[in-house]
Structures are given as structure tokens and as C-alpha cells.
Amino acid sequence: MKAFVLRSYGSPEQLELTDVDTPVPAADEVLVRVRATSVNPYDWHHMRGEPRLARLMPGTLGLRAPRFRVLGCDMSGQVEEVGRDVTEFRPGDDVVALLERGGGFAEYVSVPERLLARKPGNLSYEQAAAVPMAATTALLGLRDVARVKPGQKVLAIGASGGVGTFALQIARALGTRVDAVCSSTNEEMVRSLGAADVIDYAETDFTRSGRRYDVLLDIAGSRPAAACRRVLAPRGTLVLIGGPAGKWLQPAGHIFAGLAMAPLGRQRIAMADTVSHAAKKQTLMTLTGLIEAGTVTPVISRTYPFHDIRDAVRYQEQGHVPGKVVITI
């Protein structure tokens, strides 16, 4: 099969299209013909080996070489073969998964049954591939970390990106009023996704708006936690999701600095940890319900063919991409 293999850290040019052996599914695994994947910051952090501090942390990046040789944590496709202990799926089923060891940048991937969910029936493969990482992060941040309640006020900082576009829709589905921080270029889009008000970060410092929110989703990481607390209700929650990219420390430094402030006030500060989330399959099933009900719809900025995957990664790395970047395979 064809796959983009990463042999050493570096730029998208390090992604080498080559022939590799097709995986053989273990007893509890499912071999999937990948039809589409998407690009996440998670993927290009692994590609560049950044932040470099993370190379010293077990279970994150490899110390001297990439931990994942085939990137791509999002996947949608069709079941090709099942292991002998698999009971839920059969060849021909359309599926989606948030992969724990990469593998989406390939024609086939072997996926543990515990990670695999059925593809939403009203989505194409391309649309479904936009869902796993970004939508799971948004749902975890709102439902599990912030524990939002109907009638609360939510502010999504970095609302026009992959996580943000899902967060706006999920926040509305959970009965909250949600405002957005993004550029004026994306105002019409985020309003169409449920934003009640839009703050242009180029014109207004949202931390000095005088407003108060029950929940802040910090996706962009553009302001320190101390500043964000100014617009957080006395017992509100700041959910840390992302931050500015950097070679050595960021975005981890932004998140760790925010968590370090958590004991210093009544307001909660916590992180949405999608990578360590154990119930990935169940979360995807919850998202499928919202998607099939028409409550949540993926926003796709650009779609690339498989052989142009390097261009797709370059585009995602530029930042300020509205919605998701998807690759068809």
C-alpha cells in the first residue's frame, strides 16, 4: 500500500510517499481502507518534533526520531477485514476513528475495535474525516471539563478554527449562549454556527471587554490565564485547549502556565486532554447523534488529494485556517 512515511523530524518535505506493507489486523483489530483523513496541529507537532521539550516526556514525541512514522490521527473509511475477536463490524461497514498511534496518512490502517465508530450516515467520507480530533476536543472541553449547563454564557477564543467551529455548535446544542473571538473575516461564518456576538481580536482586547462568562474555551492561547480571568465569572471555568506554536516550549508552556495559576483563585482552570481521553469511541458516538440530528456540521476550508498531502500540511501550519483541512485517499 501507499503511505506517507516520516523518517525524521522536519518540514512537510520529510513526508515521503512510499510503498509499505499493508497492516495485518490483530484479533481485536479492524483493517480499514482509508477514504479520507484531515490535518490537525497534533499531526504537524509530531512531524516537526515540537515543542522540543516534549521529546523528553514519555508517551509524547520520540526523543531522537518520530514516535509515529505514519501521521494522521483522523480517519474515515470502509472496513476491509476484521480480526477473529471483532464482533461489531464486518467488511463493507463505513467507519470513523480518532487514532492513538497515527496511521491516517495511508491507504490502509489497522484500528482497535475499541476506537472505531460507525460513520455518521449523513456525512461523506471527507466530512466525517474532519470530525474526530477537533469535535472530540470541543465536546470534552464543554461537557466534561467545563460541565456547562443550559443558560450559561460561553466564550470561544479562536472560534473559527477546527475546534472552534465545532465548539460553537456544540455549545448551542448544550443550551448555552456562546460568543466568539476571531478575525472580522470569519464573522459571518461563526455567526452562522451559533455565535451570538463576535469580538474581532485585531480591534478589541476581549479580556478588557467588561463582560463576564461562565466558561472560556481558550483554543487560540493568545492571552495569559491571568488576563482571561478578568472576563470569567467568580466561579467560572477556563478550559485550556491550545496555544501559540514554538520550537522549544510552546504551546505546552502556555498551558502549563495556566494550570499553575489554578490554585490561586476560585475560578477553575483545567485542560481538555483529548489524547489521553479513554472513551474515544463513545464520544464519537455522541457526536454522531448530534451530526445525524443536524445540530452539528463539519466546516471544511480546503480538500486536497492524497498526493498533495504535503501542501495540505503547509496550509494548516500557516494558522488562521477557517474550519478543517481534509485529504481524500
- Quick one: DSSP state of residue 106? B
For the chain, give the percent of residues with pLDDT over 90.
Answer: 77
Element (H, E) at 253: helix 252-260
Output 189-195 pairs: Cβ under 8 A, ≥24 positions apart: 189/160, 189/165, 189/299, 189/322, 189/323, 190/159, 190/160, 190/164, 190/165, 193/165, 193/168, 193/169, 193/299, 194/168, 194/169, 195/156, 195/159, 195/168
Confidence of residue 48 (pLDDT cuts 50, 70, 90): confident
Tell whether the model's pLDDT for residue 253 goes beyond 60.
Answer: no
- Please write the tens of the pLDDT for every residue from 66-87: 888 999 999 999 999 999 999 9
- Please write the tens of the pLDDT for every residue from 286-309: 999 999 999 999 999 999 999 999
Domains of the chain: 2-131+298-328 (3.90.180.10), 135-271 (3.40.50.720)
Residue 11 amino acid letter: S
Rounded Cα gap, residues 137 and 5, in angstroms? 26
- Please write the tens of the pLDDT for every residue from 112-148: 999 999 999 999 999 999 999 999 999 999 999 999 9
Q: What value does the CA radius of gyration of the chain take, rounded to a whole number of Å? A: 19
As given in the structure block, the three cell numbers for residue 191 are: 455567526
Element (H, E) at 2: strand 2-6
Cis? peptide before 51, omega within 30° of 0: yes
Tell whether the model's pLDDT for residue 154 goes beyond 60.
Answer: yes
